[in-house]
Amino acid sequence: MTPTARPRRPRARLSRATLVTGATELADAEGLEAVTIRRLAQRHGVTAMAIYAHFDGKEALLDAVGEALLETVRLPQDAAGEGTAGLTAALTATAAALRAHPSIAPIAAHRVLECEPGLNLAEYLLARLAELGLPAPLAAVTSHYLLNGVIALVTTEPGRACAPGDPDSRGRLIRERRARLLALDPERHPHVIDSATPLTGCADPDGYYAHGIRLLVSGARALAP
């Protein structure tokens, strides 16, 4: 008797959005270095040429990934977001979006002035800085500093850089780093030893980001005439 062949499950239609989602998931699981045309093609069960039908190459793919990340920033929509309150709200929203995908946070910075979501974010920050009295040249430099400051908070969160997507390996590496700091000479590095735990791991992520954003906004406010 001839065995009955199982019907094939229909393959999801390949699109730019599907590929961006796949690239984002790949970066979340294995880090940004894992995102290549070849790996993405394997993930979707297609040839590399199928990917090139949507993107000219890896750089174009990463541009789209960065833009998609910026689209998830939810800026304040009411008058409560003015001045320093608006800066805090916007930076908090940016941090929340980037925290969801820390491996691709760095590439978002390169797309801020190249796509509509990024331009909206830049316009919002510049408007709030103008409300504080900063002239356009100083506001431009400050907004650049603020955005890169938020990205740095995400990419350098204590313990974040250890083994993306692998909690077990991350925990082991954090413990090893902490042990190395605790083994330092207490006469030469007493404060590093005292801070070994918060330097190597982030027990309170929300507090860490709130404190970092307060520092950034305080710096911007200090520039106001």
Token pair of 62 as six digits: 């990463």
pLDDT tens column, 118-174: 999 999 999 999 999 999 999 999 999 999 999 999 999 987 765 555 667 778 888
User: What percentage of the chain carries pLDDT values higher than 70?
Assistant: 90
Closest residue by Cα to residue 129 from 3, 216, 66, 25: 216
Instruction: Give the predicted TM-score (pTM) of the model.
Output: 0.85
Rg (CA), the chain: 22
